[in-house]
Amino acid sequence: MNQIQRIYNKLHSSFGPQGWWPLTVSGYKTRHHSGEPKNDRHRLEIIIGAILTQNTSWKNVEKALENLSKNKLISIERIKKISQDKLAKLIRSAGYYNQKAERLKIMADFLLKNPMKKLDKLSIGELRERLLAVKGIGPETADSIILYAFQKPIFVIDAYTKRIFERLGFKEKDYDELQRLFMDNLEKDYKTFNEYHALLVELGKNHCRKKPSCEKCPIAGYCNGK
């Protein structure tokens, strides 16, 4: 068993299943769910969330998603029709709200021209290329959409992953190098990639912070603690 797999096993046994990606439910409150996106509304909410979570924490995104849900704006057509100023006010809690409102409208245009059923039939490479061509969509956001909304096996690299694996002593530095590290050392299974990424987020929030709290970290034995 390689080191990447051992770390996953240790995190999973310590934290348990994360049930990620959270979706709004009755009452418009977000909650984690252990299932998969069941329909295009779920997929759209994941895509919206992936854009809103750029440069902010998920806690800040939740209120924005709940506002959108209350106003029946988990809808491509309704996002297209609402004014950008009104949309920005509803997502204010997510930060950079004017920029993100513009990006949501651009994404709505993209999805009107590229229906999800057609996108779902594309290969990972083709889907990623199309998403990266959309203004405001970088590798992390594109890969989150591919993994969580379309359930295709690609590993998402975020700031937590970079910090954790640098402290663990891995030499891979940029996004593509780190992504290959996971893709080459794990079975290419979207459920595993989904769970691993969520477990790293949990570790990063509670232990491997900017100032690390190593005492109860489940993988402290693998780490140099810097």
Nearest to 23 by CA among 76, 62, 70: 62
Burial class (CB in 10 A: 0-12, 13-18, 19+), 2: exposed
The pTM score is 0.93
Rounded CA separation 164/197 (Å): 12
pLDDT digits (tens, 9 = 90+) for 162-172: 999 999 999 99
Residue 111 is predicted with a pLDDT of 98
Phi, psi for residue 206 in degrees, rounded to 5: -105, -20
pLDDT digits (tens, 9 = 90+) for 6-60: 999 999 999 999 988 888 865 456 665 555 788 999 999 999 999 999 999 999 9
Rounded CA separation 192/114 (Å): 28
Q: Is residue 216 a contact partner of residue 177, using CB atoms and an 8 Å limit? A: no
Neighbouring CB atoms inside 10 A of 85's CB total 9
- The number of angstroms, rounded, from the C-alpha of 78 to the middle of its chain's C-alpha atoms is 23
89-115 b/e (C-beta count within 10 Å ≥ 16 → b): ebbbbbbbbeebbbbbbebbebbeeee
Residues 6+ apart with CB under 8 A from 11: 196, 199, 200, 202, 203, 218, 219
- In words, the CATH class of domain 37-149 is mainly alpha
Quote the Cα angle for 103-109-113, to 5°.
Answer: 140
Residue 31 is predicted with a pLDDT of 65
In the chain, ranges of CATH 1.10.340.30 domains: 37-149
Q: Which residues of the chain have pLDDT under 70?
A: 25-35, 225-226
